[in-house]
Structure 1
Amino acid sequence: MTDVMPNNENELSVVVRDAIAEALGLDTEEVVPDATVLGDLDAESIDLLDILFRIERASKVKIKMADLTEIIQGGIPDEEFASEDDVISATGLAQLKKVLPQIDTDALSGTLVADEVLTLFTVQNLTDMVAERASVVTAAA
């Protein structure tokens, strides 16, 4: 772990992979970009908090669980993002496609519920969010 903020996406990718591997007791080779954190890698919500903490410690980039939700939802009000029975709306799916480009919105249309959104979240999605947040922090410095 380093005290200097990683300055490119490749370095941030290593930080994210290492944080996930350490938090979940995995070999870094198992933490591939298209693996889903809560599905393929068997992380639980508490593990995600640990991963975010480890990323912050290694990269000085702070991302809270609330930030993940905000980034994923893109500022769309809850009632527009999902229906009353928590099924993600067409508006919500369009937003999800922006931040989770790997998802098949046609296959998920009418079936994806809000509680399942984070299960679609991959190592690459997390790396991209950390890189985006790092660029904002660097630009502000």
Structure 2
Amino acid sequence: MTDTITNLLPIVQDAIADALGIDEAEVTSDATLLGDLGAESIDLLDILFRIERASGVKITVADIGALLQGGIPDEEFGDENEVVNNTGLTHLEKVLPQFDRSQLDEPLTADQVLGLFTVRNLLDLLTERAAAAHAG
């Protein structure tokens, strides 16, 4: 699996750097796509397209959303004010190794969840998908 990560890391870095017009050195594993690197929704689509073209592995924004929400219905993931509740926060801690709810200064809203997604999270998702495609 380490070989797969090594092979896929340059693909992820190149896709992000090219799509955002930034230097590849800025694309660090702990950088968030939307916050630190300044990607917007349309950029995310471009990044995923570039990754698919280079790796042959398709990842969609819906796949990222499914990872982040884990199939938990909206009303169980957050409250009526769109604030992520304990169920949602517990899930995010499981799927985003870097996420620590104790570091939150204010309640996390559903709109902010995608902003937690890092380069490493994208690489991990790609690696998982590539391994599944290779096995199947």
CA distance in 2, matches of 1:67, 1:123: 15
- Say if 2:106 is the partner of 1:93: no
Which of 46, 52, 59 is the aligned partner of 2:55?
59
Q: Find the partner of 1:80 among 73, 76, 79.
A: 76
Contact 1:89-1:110 within 8 A present in 2 as well:
no
Moved over 6 A (4+): none
> 1:119 aligned to 2:115?
yes
The one-letter amino acid of 1:73's match is Q
* C-alpha RMSD of matched pairs (Å): 1.3
- CA 1:18–1:105: 2 relative to 1, 3 Å: same
* Unpaired stretches in structure 1, ≥5 consecutive residues: 1-6
Structure 2 unaligned regions, length at least 5:
none
TM-score of the aligned structures, taking structure 2 as reference length: 0.94
TM-score for both structures, normalised by structure 1: 0.90
Return the offset for 1:100: 1.1
Letter in 2 for 1:79: E
Aligned residues: 134
Deviation at 1:107, TM superposition (A): 3.1
Q: Alignment partner of 1:94: what SS?
A: helix
